[in-house]
């Protein structure tokens, strides 16, 4: 058996940081970093997923001993970051922004050196979460590597699944309770993922304020507490399945964001997730 297997291991660390360039004025920092600009630290409980790939050792049945991965992550990542101020105690950030994008690049550098990871595996991807509503992913298998940033939003909306192309009996058979004439609702979770090169000054793919404003204007504020079938013109005559809603959201956003739209994920429930990619 020669097919490789990928394994992901998770680790956490708590760090403080600030978005502030001392050489710039307060207004210049605000222009760069928005309302996150401050000369004082704030902190996060970061969650890091490290993906490696290798062949299964027939003697152990494993790609690699997880304890060895844990040892590497503790020594190369956790010990360096946990309980630290990134701006002040990690030399890499003395002249760089402590953005999530810059941080994931530095983590990749820390793990990519000679004799860091066990020789039987190679690093393929990283996912670094600053908070549940914001994370970056770095796909190291792509050449060149691909960095994406994902922001999560919520809106509550009602709808009714009913197709004008089939009979009422067929609608009831197909959609069941979701064909209820009075409709039903969901607390939707929307993930918007963009890709691009981080700005050299801010270290960010885009200004989060701009992303939030655009998504709120075009989707969240427009759909929140609305009946999708009745209140939203773009769904007139359409079946408001989450597939259709996800496609519509992607089309609405793709030409209005200050970075390339990479993916939209719409969580209708904890069990139903729909994805549209560029």
Active site (catalytic) residues = 178, 225, 268
CB atoms within 10 A of CB 154: 12
93, 78, 102, 80: which is closest to 41 by C-alpha?
Answer: 93
Sign of CA dihedral 21, 22, 27, 28: negative
Nearest-angstrom CA–CA distance, 28 and 80: 30
112, 67, 83, 103: which is closest to 14 by C-alpha?
Answer: 83
Question: Which ranges in 84-177 belong to alpha helices (H)?
Answer: 86-89, 100-112, 168-175
* 58-to-1, 9, 61, 64 alpha-carbon distances in Å: 9, 21, 5, 11
Question: Strand pairing partners for 122?
Answer: 53
Question: Which ranges in the chain belong to alpha helices (H)?
Answer: 26-33, 66-73, 79-81, 86-89, 100-112, 168-175, 208-215, 221-223, 228-231, 242-253
Nearest-angstrom CA–CA distance, 101 and 44: 15
User: Are the beta carbons of 6 and 53 closer than 8 angstroms?
Assistant: yes
DSSP 3-55: -EEEEEEEEEEEEEE-B--TTS-HHHHHHHHGGGB-SS-EEEEEEEEEEEEEE
């Amino acid at each position: 058996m020669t097919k490789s297997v990928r394994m992901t291991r998770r680790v956490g660390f708590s760090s403080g940081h600030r978005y502030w360039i001392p050489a710039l004025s307060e207004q210049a920092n605000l222009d760069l970093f928005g309302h996150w600009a401050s000369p004082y630290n704030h902190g996060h409980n970061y969650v890091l997923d490290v993906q490696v790939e290798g062949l299964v050792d027939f003697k152990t049945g494993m790609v690699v001993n997880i304890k060895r991965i844990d040892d590497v992550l503790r020594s190369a990542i956790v010990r360096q970051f946990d309980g630290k101020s990134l701006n002040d105690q990690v030399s890499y950030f003395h002249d760089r922004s402590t953005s999530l994008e810059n941080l994931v690049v530095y983590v990749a550098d820390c793990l990519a050196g000679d004799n860091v990871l066990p020789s039987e595996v190679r690093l393929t991807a990283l996912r670094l979460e600053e908070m549940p509503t914001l994370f970056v992913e770095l796909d190291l298998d792509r050449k060149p590597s691909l960095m994406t940033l994902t922001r999560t939003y919520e809106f509550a909306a009602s709808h009714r699944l009913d197709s004008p192309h089939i009979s009422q009996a067929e609608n009831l058979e197909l959609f069941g309770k979701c064909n209820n004439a009075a409709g039903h609702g969901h607390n939707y979770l929307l993930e918007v993922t963009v890709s691009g090169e981080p700005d050299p000054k801010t270290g960010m793919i885009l200004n989060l304020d701009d992303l939030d404003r655009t998504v709120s204007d075009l989707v969240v504020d427009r759909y929140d507490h609305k009946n999708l079938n009745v209140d939203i013109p773009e769904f007139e005559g359409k079946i408001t399945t989450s597939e259709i809603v996800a496609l519509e959201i992607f089309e609405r956003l793709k030409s209005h964001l200050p970075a390339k739209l990479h993916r939209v994920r719409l969580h209708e429930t904890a069990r139903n997730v729909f994805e549209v990619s560029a």
